[in-house]
Chain A
Amino acid sequence: MEEILLETRNLTKSFGGLKAVNNVTLTVGKNSITGLIGPNGSGKTTLFNTITGVYSPDHGEVYFEGKRIDKLSPHQIYAKGLVRTFQTPRLFQKLTVLDNMMVASRNHVGDSFLNVFLKRRSWGEQEAKLAERALEILELLELDDRKDTPASELSGGQMKLLELGRALMTEPKMMLLDEPAAGVNPTLARRIFEKIRQLRDELSLTFFTIEHRIEILLEHADWIYVMHNGSIVAEGTPDEVVNNKVVVDVYLGEA
């Protein structure tokens, strides 16, 4: 594989006696779409939470662009250009769709207390530019006609899209997506992945994606990790993974 963007080494996170993430070592190549699959409860979301600083790991390290990030808090990890979405969208329910997007702006002058009063001119101009950008992303996701709606009034699929849009608004280098196509109809699910691919190609973003809709993921992913009981049990290109006996056992054996 080419240049490595994200790397975990021997990452472990336990809750009581349960090792939710057990000695996970993996790499995500720059500009790739890397998938993470595995049965329910195999530790995929915990792995994401540990990488993004929501949990601190018991053992092991996380590197992003070669620098250790496992001791950082979520907002510091964001500052490095790593952003994530949640399995159940965590939107700002009472805020409008546009405000949800605007919160995610990176390096906004008006985000700082004193600047609100001292640099009104400068944040005002920036605000207008950011709003344009937010609306363009919303248009891309076909959400722009709902810009003034409170996020709580969106449909489930639109919520997923808005969360994706919000993550894009942060101008990330890499996005961790936790089931971007869950609870979304098949057409929209395909479209979400087409968008992801388009973003990868156009903005050279990197994606690390948990997804249960394996058939869609197989179409788009470059590399797939398979997780079971907290450990990585297999990895490879989509073709390799599909034909891997361990993977078939993990999925079919339990189903």
Chain B
Amino acid sequence: MKGSNLSDPLIYVLDMVVFVGIFSILAISLNLEYGFTGLANFGKVAFFMVGAYTSSIAANMGVPYFVCIVLATTLAGFVGLLVSLPALKLRADYLAIVTLAFGEILRFIFKNESWIAGGVRGTTVPSAFLFVNLPIRTMMTVQIILVYSVLLVCYIVAQMLVNSPYGRVMRSIREDELAAQVLGKDVFKYKAQTFTVGSAMAGAAGSLFAQYMRFIDPYTFEPFLTFTVWMMIILGGPANNLGVIVGAFIVQVLERGARIAKDYLLLPIDPHNLRVMLIGILIILILLYRPQGMFKESKVKTPALEVAKKWKKSS
């Protein structure tokens, strides 16, 4: 193998790229739920966790990785649907509490039930590419291709969804639920579907995460992970899929950058603490001066826009 882990700075960069990709998927999924539909999901990590554990358990049983990620996505989506059925009947703020609690409950189950996946000791995840002995850089490049292919699929699905009559209804539910109902929209159905899709995407991200880390334990899935995704949405701009990817990039660059700084620079302050401060300041500044985020809400792009454009010219 060429080059060891710590002495090769490029590894840090590639690592950052992988994390940006995984978290972009999470950001897009939360954006569908919160940014477009107004569902305050504070339990994003739960569905990420379901995906990661499903994928790990399956991989340990010898299931090929492609099947693992499909399983993880499906199961996380299904769990999302189950949670949404009672939770979505509640008012927005209670939804936040229920989803937050769900994440914690799930984490404690994985922590205490060691028969599932090693409990506090965690579990190793066999690599999908173990059959070839690749140098570490190549290995990471393969991971990057994998992560960004899934990200691309999620992005396209999300874009198709929000730029459609369906996406318009999602936004209308966020703006005024009762008005949407009176205009004939089965609000509960839309919310449950959005929640399911969002959770499924988070599950896919979890599967990619487990595959990349090759080891997971319950301590990886603290509620803070959910808040990290929220920061990406707030920074990037809710209801803008490109915006939240930029948000994911900024937050992850700061997060991963702090690790590099810790290993390479001598600073009077622990870079990890500095990072938390920086993100805090950034969010306060954004909320004060640009509450809509760096990117504005995207328009609903459908054939109706073109019809409207022509209308102006003719009259």
A131 to chain B, nearest CB (A): 4
Task: Among B157, B181, B184, B302, find the residue whose CB has the most chain A CB atoms closer than 10 A.
Answer: B184
B300 proximal to A (CB < 8 A)? yes
Contact A148 B184 (CB under 8 A): no
B186 proximal to A (CB < 8 A)? yes
A128 to B307: give the CA distance in the assembly, Å.
6
Over the window 15-50 of chain B, the binary record of Cβ atoms lying under 8 Å from chain A Cβ atoms (1 yes, 0 no) is: 000000000000000000000000000000000000
Over the window 169-206 of chain B, the binary record of Cβ atoms lying under 8 Å from chain A Cβ atoms (1 yes, 0 no) is: 10110011011111111110000010000000000000
A106 to B182: give the CA distance in the assembly, Å.
12
Binds A, one of B4-12, B139-147, B158-166: B158-166
A127-B303 contact, Cβ under 8 Å, with A75-B185, A78-B184, A95-B172: yes
Contact A113 B166 (CB under 8 A): yes
B297 proximal to A (CB < 8 A)? yes
B168 proximal to A (CB < 8 A)? yes
Contact B308 A116 (CB under 8 A): no
Over the window 222-253 of chain B, the binary record of Cβ atoms lying under 8 Å from chain A Cβ atoms (1 yes, 0 no) is: 00000000000000000000000000000000
A75 to B193: give the CA distance in the assembly, Å.
17
Contact B311 A144 (CB under 8 A): yes
A84-B304 contact, Cβ under 8 Å, with A103-B169, A111-B166: no
A124-B166 contact, Cβ under 8 Å, with A74-B182, A75-B184, A83-B182: no
A147 to B305: give the CA distance in the assembly, Å.
10
* Chain B: interface size category: 35 or more
B263 proximal to A (CB < 8 A)? no
A110 proximal to B (CB < 8 A)? yes
A91 proximal to B (CB < 8 A)? yes
Contact B179 A91 (CB under 8 A): yes
A132-B307 contact, Cβ under 8 Å, with A105-B165, A116-B164, A124-B302: yes
A174 proximal to B (CB < 8 A)? no
B273 proximal to A (CB < 8 A)? no
B-chain residues with CB within 8 Å of residue A74 when the two chains form the complex: 178, 181-182
A-chain residues with CB within 8 Å of residue B193 when the two chains form the complex: 113
B133 proximal to A (CB < 8 A)? no
A235 proximal to B (CB < 8 A)? no
A196 to chain B, nearest CB (A): 19
B-chain residues with CB within 8 Å of residue A54 when the two chains form the complex: 178, 182
Contact A92 B302 (CB under 8 A): no
* Chain A: interface size category: 35 or more
B315 proximal to A (CB < 8 A)? yes
A103 to B167: give the CA distance in the assembly, Å.
10
B272 to chain A, nearest CB (A): 37
A63 proximal to B (CB < 8 A)? no
A154 to chain B, nearest CB (A): 14
A116-B182 contact, Cβ under 8 Å, with A92-B172, A135-B307: no
- Chain B positions 258-315 with a Cβ under 8 Å from a chain A Cβ: 297, 299-300, 302-304, 306-308, 311, 315
Contact B303 A103 (CB under 8 A): no
Chain A residue with the shortest CB-CB distance to B297:
A94
Chain A residue with the shortest CB-CB distance to B166:
A116
Chain A residue with the shortest CB-CB distance to B176:
A90
A6 to B185: give the CA distance in the assembly, Å.
22
A128 to B181: give the CA distance in the assembly, Å.
24
The 7 closest A-B pairs by CB, nearest first: A110-B165, A78-B184, A131-B304, A92-B175, A131-B307, A90-B179, A74-B181
Listed in ascending order, the chain B residues whose CB lies under 8 Å from chain A are: 157, 160-161, 164-169, 171-172, 175-176, 178-187, 193, 297, 299-300, 302-304, 306-308, 311, 315
Q: Name 26 A/B residue pairs within 8 A (Cβ), A-sorted.
A: A75-B184, A79-B184, A90-B179, A91-B176, A92-B175, A93-B176, A94-B175, A102-B168, A103-B169, A103-B180, A105-B165, A108-B165, A110-B165, A110-B166, A116-B161, A116-B167, A117-B157, A124-B302, A124-B303, A127-B302, A128-B307, A131-B303, A135-B307, A135-B308, A147-B311, A166-B183
Listed in ascending order, the chain A residues whose CB lies under 8 Å from chain B are: 52, 54, 73-75, 78-79, 83-84, 86, 90-96, 98-99, 102-106, 108-113, 115-117, 123-125, 127-128, 130-132, 134-135, 139, 144, 147-148, 166, 170
Q: Apart from A103-B183, A116-B161, A135-B311, what are 13 other A-B pairs with CB-CB below 8 Å? A: A75-B184, A78-B183, A84-B182, A92-B179, A95-B300, A106-B184, A109-B165, A110-B166, A111-B169, A116-B165, A127-B302, A144-B311, A147-B308
